[in-house]
Amino acid sequence: MYSRRGDSGETDTSSGNRIRKDNPIIEWEGTLDELIAQIGYSKVQISWVDIRDDLSKVQMDLFYLGEEVLTSGKGRKLREDGVSWMEGRIASYLKEIGEIKLFVVPGGTQEAASLQLSRAVTRRAERRLVELNLIEKVNPLSLQYLNRLSSLIFMMALVANKRNKISETIFPWPNPDKLGK
């Protein structure tokens, strides 16, 4: 579908205003769209029901988060228990993983690599929301949610490699001359 209304580099906001497509709110909305799509791609790479279900829940949360931000809180909102739910899931995955060594070099399995890419896009969405927050205040819960989401997806990536019996490659900080596992 197309309307040709965006051909000159402008688009409509949820309030009906016309703004440039490089406006921070549109940049954030596009990054959120990319994040939801990337999580969908990660989800189809995963064979484990628990991680797939968690990713499905996250995708829906992100739609609500987007609506809340784009309508300045006048539409549907991100669920209040989203951050605490993620903290519980992080704790559950951490029990399965055990000790974590930083800094993990993304890779290992296709599932883990896809999740690491989702994590990186989450970080960009978070940065764009922080930038937007300077112009138009957003619900602090939205910022917390994206911050926690990157941790959750990181844990999922580690679990994916562990379940596939693949060891993580660790970047040895602060001594990068000793790249190891």
Q: What is the pLDDT of residues 71-128, one digit of tens each?
A: 888 889 999 999 999 999 999 999 999 888 778 989 999 999 999 999 999 999 999 9
- Burial group, residue 58, by CB count within 10 angstroms (0-12, 13-18, 19+): buried
Convert 59-88 to b/e letters by CB count within 10 Å (16 or more is b): eebbebbbbbbbeeeeeebbbeebbebbee
Tell me 168's DSSP state.
P
Domain locations in the chain as residue ranges: 20-94+109-159
d(CA 157, CA 118): 10
> What does the block give as tokens for 110?
């296709």
CATH superfamily for domain 20-94+109-159 = Cobalamin adenosyltransferase-like (1.20.1200.10)
pLDDT at 178: 58
What number is the average pLDDT over the span 131-145?
A: 94
Secondary structure (3-state) at 97: helix
Global pTM?
0.88
Alpha helices by DSSP H, listed for the chain, are 24-45, 49-70, 82-97, 110-135, 140-163
Report which residue type is found at 141. L
